[in-house]
Amino acid sequence: MRYDLNLLPVFLALMEERSVTRAAERLGTTQPALSNALTRLRTLLQDPLFVRERYGMQPTARALALAPQIAQALGVLDGIVLGQQAFDPASADQLVTIAANSYMEFALMPAIVARLREQAPGMRLRLAPYGTDLAETGVVSGTTALVLGRIVDAPDNLVVQHLGDDGLACMVRAGHPEVGTRLTKKVYEQLRHVNVLPPGRLRAGLFQALERQGLKREVAVSVTHFLAVPEMVAMTDYCTTLPQLICRRLAHDTRLRVLPAPADLGRFPLHMGWHVRYRDDPAHRWLRTLVAQVAQELLGEGAVPLAAGAPRKRARR
In this prediction, residue 156 carries a pLDDT of 83
Within a domain: 261: yes
Nearest to 159 by CA among 139, 182, 138, 179: 139
DSSP the chain: ----TTHHHHHHHHHHH--HHHHHHHHT--HHHHHHHHHHHHHHHTS--EEEETTEEEE-HHHHHHHHHHHHHHHHHHHHHGGG----GGG---EEEEEE-HHHHHHTHHHHHHHHHHH-TT-EEEEEE-SS-HHHHTTTTTSSSEEEE---S--TTEEEEEEEEE-EEEEEETT-TT--SS--HHHHHHSEEEEE--SSHHHHHHHHHHHHTT---EEEEEESSGGGHHHHHHTSS-EEEEEHHHHHHHTT-TTEEEEE-SS----EEEEEEEEGGGTT-HHHHHHHHHHHHHHHHHHTT-SPPPPTT----PPP-
* Parts of the chain with a pLDDT under 70: 1-2, 78-85, 198-204, 302-317
- Per-residue confidence (pLDDT) for residue 181, from 0 to 100: 85
- Whole-model pTM: value is 0.69
d(CA 168, CA 209): 10
Same-domain pairing of 143 and 281: yes
Give the CATH number of the domain where residue 254 resides.
3.40.190.10
Region of residue 153 (left: phi > 0; alpha: psi -120 to 50; beta: else): left
- Pseudo-torsion of CA 173, 179, 185, 186, nearest 10°? -120
Whole-number Å distance between alpha carbons of 71 and 67: 6
Q: Which domain-ending residue is among 266, 289, 307?
A: 266
pLDDT value at residue 257: 95
Identify the pLDDT of residue 113. Answer: 97
134 and 282 housed in the same domain: yes
Is residue 184 located within the same domain as residue 257? yes
Q: Is the dihedral of CA 225, 226, 227, 230 positive or negative?
A: positive
CA distance 135 to 123: 25
Predicted pLDDT at 188: 95
142 with 13, same domain? no
In a domain, 187, yes or no: yes
34 and 68, same domain (yes or no): yes
Would residue 234 count as lying in a domain?
yes
* Residue whose C-alpha is closest to residue 196's, from 162, 219, 223, 168: 223
User: For residue 310, is it within any domain?
Assistant: no
Residue where a domain stops, chosen among 42, 58, 84:
84
Amino acid (one-letter) located at 236:
T
Same domain assignment for residues 173 and 202: yes
Q: Are residues 160 and 274 in the same domain?
A: yes
* Residue 72 near residue 193 (C-beta atoms within 8 A): no
Handedness of CA 22, 27, 30, 35 (dihedral sign): negative
Please report whether residue 158 resides in a domain: yes
Number of structural domains the chain divides into: 3
Shared-domain flag, residues 237 and 194:
yes
* 6 CB-contact burial (10 Å; exposed 0-12 / middle 13-18 / buried 19+): exposed
* Cα–Cα distance measured from residue 233 to residue 307, given in angstroms and rounded to the nearest whole number: 16
Domain assignment present for residue 314? The answer is: no
Which residues make beta-bridge pairs with 193? 219, 239
Has residue 317 been placed in a domain?
Answer: no
172 & 262 share domain: yes
Asked if the structure places residue 245 within a domain, the reply is yes
Q: What's the CATH code of the domain at 57?
A: 1.10.10.10
Instruction: Tell me, yes or no, whether 115 and 76 share the same domain.
Output: no
- DSSP of 146-180, one letter per residue? EEEE---S--TTEEEEEEEEE-EEEEEETT-TT--
Widest Cα–Cα separation across the chain: 78
Domain that holds residue 210: 168-266
